[in-house]
Chains A and B, each alone.
Chain A
Amino acid sequence: MKLRTFILLFFCTGLFWVKSAGAQNGTITADTIIQKVTQVMNPAQSKAKMKMTIMTTSKKTRTFVYQAYSANHGEKTLMKYLKPSRVKGQAILMLNNADDIWVYFPRTRRVRKLATHAKKQKMEGSDFSYEDMGAGNAFIDEFESRLLGEEKREGEHCFKLELKRKPKSSSGYSRLVMWVDKESFVPLVVDYYHDDDSTLLEKRLVCGDIKVIDEIPTPMQMVMFNKLDRTQTDMEFLEVTYKVNLGDDLFTQRGMKK
C-alpha cells in the first residue's frame, strides 16, 4: 500500500471533526497525530460530485467532473466520470484500500484490472496518480512519522510532521512533510518528495475553503502543484454528503457499469 490516503480524503471521503484532540497537544506524539489524521480522513461512507481542472505546461486546461463514492472507511472507492464527453461513463473501482484497481470503458464494456505499477500513471493526465487516489492506512502502514514541531501554515496553527518511507514500503514517495491543523487534524499542506531523492520536492498539495458538511469539516478546494513539471491540478467539491447508505453491490464490476 502506498501514499494514497491523503488524496482520497478530498475525492470521496470526509473528515471527522476531532476538536478535543487538539487541546491535548502538549504531550501528543507523531504517531497519535497520524492516527487521528487517518481516523478523520476515513468516514464510514461518502458520496461526492467533484470537479478536477488540469493546468498543463502550455497553460491549457482540461476539466473533468465525476461522481465519487466511498464506503467502509475508505476501503472501497468508486469513481464515475460525468464530463467531458470523451470520458463520460468511464469508471474506476478501488478495493482493499486501492490494492485492487479496475477501470471500466463504456464504449467497449470492457473492465481492465490494473496492477500496482499502473498506479504511477497519471489519472487522465492530471497531477494525481492512481496511487494518490486510493485510500487506507498508508500514513501508518507505509511511513514512519516524526513530529518536527509546530508552525503556522495557511493561517492556521499546525503540527509539522515528517513521514519517512518504511524499508519494505512500495510507496512512490521517499518521504512526506505534512502540516496538520491542530484543531481539526486536517492536513492543510503536504509536500511529496521524489521516489529516488528525498530532498527533491515533487508535488505539493494545498487545501482550503474548509466547510463543515454533515458535521464533518471538508476542504472544498484542493490544489496539487507538480513542482517538476510545473503543472497543477485543482480539485473542487461540487456536492458532498456523508449521510448515505451505499450497498456493497455498488463496489463491484457490475456496479461500475451502471
Chain B
Amino acid sequence: MRKFLCATLLSLLLIPPLSAQEVDIFGYFEPQYTVIYLDKSYYQLQSNKLRVDLKSTPSETIEFGANFDWIVYHGKRDWNFLDYIPQNLTSSVPPEMRDAYQFTYEDRNFLDNAYLRLSFSSFDLMVGKQQISLGTGYAFNPTDVFNFKDLMDPTYEQPGHNALRIDCQLSCAFSLLALYSPESSWEESGKLLSLRGRWGHFDFSVMGTETQWTITDYYTFIAAQKRRRMVGGDFAGELLGLGVWAEGAYNFVKEEKDFWELVVGSDYTFDSELYLMLEFYHHSLAKSDFRQYDLNDWLRYFYQEQKALSRDQAYCLVQYPATDLLKIGGSALVSLSDGSIAFVPTALYSLYENVELTLIGNVNVGKESKAYGANQGHSLLLRSRVYF
C-alpha cells in the first residue's frame, strides 16, 4: 500500500497529467544533523526529509490537499530509553530485558495528510487525514488530546489524523467545531465538540472530547486502553498591555484517577523587538517530588502517553531579531517541582529566499533523577530547510 502511494505521488510529480496545471506542488527538503553528548560519549544522527505537498482547488467550494513525507536516517539510529533514566531505576531491569526499551529511528515514507474540503455557505466539511490543532498554549496544550508537542521545538508540524470535521460559522464571532476521528469501533473513536467565540478582544473556546488513552505498565509491557473524556476550554487576549492566554482541561478516565491540566501564559514585545514569553503548566497526574518518579513515569513520558513528568513546569521563550535575516533566542524549560532546568538556545537564519538554517541546542543542567537532569545528555541540532 505504501509503495502504491509512493508510486502514485511520484507519478504526479514526474509525469504530470494534463490537469497538472490545476495541482499546486510545493514542499521542502530538510536535511538535519544532530550531535548528542551522552554518558561521556559523542554520537551523531542525520536525517533527510522530503515533504511534497499537493493542493488543488477545482472550484471555490472544493479543495484537495495532501502531503507525502520521505524520511531517512543515518548515524546512530538505535537508542535505549533506559540510558536517559536514572540508574537507581534502571538497575532493577534485568539485562535480557534491556532491548525491550530500545527504540530505532526507522526510515519512513508515509502519507501525512490527505483531505478533501467542501465549503458550503455556513459550514466546511473536511474529510481525511488532516492537522488537528487545539488550544491557545504555545508549549503545552492540555486540550489537545490528539498531539504531543516536542518541547525543544514546539512549533514543528504535527502528524495528520484521520478525521471527519465540520466547521460551522454561527455568526461573525461564534463558530462550532465537530470532529470525529474513526477507529475500529465507535467507542474507540475520537470525538470532539467545540464552541469558539469572541468576547471583546478575547477569543475563547469551550470543548469536550472523548478518546482512548493508552496506558502501559512498562514493567510488564501490558498496555491498557482507557476511555478518556475531557472537558476544557481556553482563551487568548490582552491584559494591561500583555498578551495573555490560558487553557485548562479536566479528564475523566474510566477506571483510573481523574486528572486536570492547566496552562497560563503571557508575552510581550519590547520596542527593541525583543520578544518574551512565559508559560506555566500544571499536570495533576504528574508527581511533585522527583524521588517518586518511577520507571513508568519516565517511560510514559518518553512514549508520549503522558504530557509531563513533573507536576509544575515553566516555559520561558526569548527571541530577538539580531539582523534582518537572523533571529536569535532560546527557551528554558524549568521543572518547578524538582528545580531542574533545560536550556534550548536557538538561531534562525534566512540564507536565501527559500532556504532557512535553524540551530537548536539542548543543555540539561539538573541533577540526576530530575526531569531535566544532566544525565540525559546534551545535543545540538543543525537543520536546513529548502522550500520549493
Q: What sequence of 0s and 1s flags, for each residue 145-170 of chain B, a beta carbon within 8 Å of any chain A beta carbon?
A: 00000000001011000000001010
B256 within 8 A of A: no
**Minimum CB–CB distance for A173 against chain B, Å:** 11
Report the stretch among A28-36, A81-89, A132-140 that lies at the interface. A81-89
B271 touches A254 (CB 8 A): no
Residues of B within 8 Å of A27, CB to CB, are: none
Decide: B130 and A109 in contact? CB cutoff 8 A. Answer: yes
Shortest Cβ distance from residue A119 to the other chain B in the assembled complex, whole angstroms: 8
Given contacts A100-B201, A108-B133, contact A121 B273 (CB under 8 A): yes
Distance between A52 CB and nearest chain B CB, rounded to angstroms? 13
Interface size on B, residues (CB 8 A): 47
- Identify the closest chain B residue to A119 (Cβ): B269
- A105 vs chain B, min Cβ distance (A): 8
Chain B nearest CB: distance from A96 CB in Å? 8
CB distance from A250 to the nearest CB of B (A): 11
Which residues of B are found within 8 Å of A24, using beta-carbon distances?
none
CA distance A109 to B157 in the complex (A): 9
Q: Which of A117, A118, A248 contacts B172 (CB 8 A)?
A: A248
A161 to B109, CA, bound (A): 62
A116 CB contacts on chain B under 8 angstroms: 238, 241
Q: What's the nearest-Cβ distance from chain A to residue B161, in Å?
A: 11
Tell me, yes or no, whether A19 is within 8 Å of chain B by CB: no
- Residues of A contacting B388 with CB < 8 Å? 85
A252 within 8 A of B: yes
Q: List residues of A (215-258) whose CB comes within 8 Å of B's CBs.
A: 229, 231, 248-249, 251-254, 258
Is B321 an interface residue when CB atoms closer than 8 A count as contact?
yes
Q: How far apart are A61's CB and chain B's nearest CB, in angstroms?
A: 8
Contact digits for B237-265, partner A, Cβ 8 Å, 1 yes 0 no: 11001111100000000000000000000
In the complex, which residues 133-152 of chain A have their Cβ closer than 8 Å to any Cβ of chain B?
none
Q: Does B26 sit at the interface, judged by CB under 8 A?
A: yes
A92 at the interface (CB under 8 A from B): no
B272, closest chain A residue (CB):
A120
Q: Which of B271, B321, B324, B354 has the most CB of A within 10 A?
A: B324
Report whether A120 and B354 are in contact in the complex, using a CB–CB cutoff of 8 Å: no
Does A115 lie within 8 Å of B243, measured CB to CB?
yes
What's the minimum C-beta distance from A191 to chain B, rounded to whole angstroms?
19
Q: Is there a chain B Cβ closer than 8 Å to A107's Cβ?
A: yes
- Determine whether B213 belongs to the interface, using a CB cutoff of 8 Å to chain A: no
- In the assembled complex, which residues on chain B have CB atoms less than 8 Å from the CB atom of A120? 269-271, 273
> Could you give 23 example pairs across A and B, Cβ below 8 Å?
A57-B323, A58-B325, A60-B324, A62-B353, A84-B387, A85-B26, A85-B28, A85-B354, A86-B387, A108-B157, A109-B130, A109-B131, A111-B133, A115-B241, A118-B267, A121-B269, A195-B271, A196-B271, A251-B172, A253-B175, A254-B169, A258-B63, A258-B119
Residues of B in contact with A (beta carbons under 8 Å apart): 26-28, 63, 119, 124, 130-133, 136, 155, 157-158, 167, 169, 172, 175, 196, 198, 201, 203, 236-238, 241-245, 267-271, 273, 275, 321, 323-325, 350, 353-354, 356, 387-388
8 closest residue pairs by CB, A with B: A115-B243, A85-B387, A56-B324, A109-B131, A115-B238, A110-B133, A117-B269, A113-B236
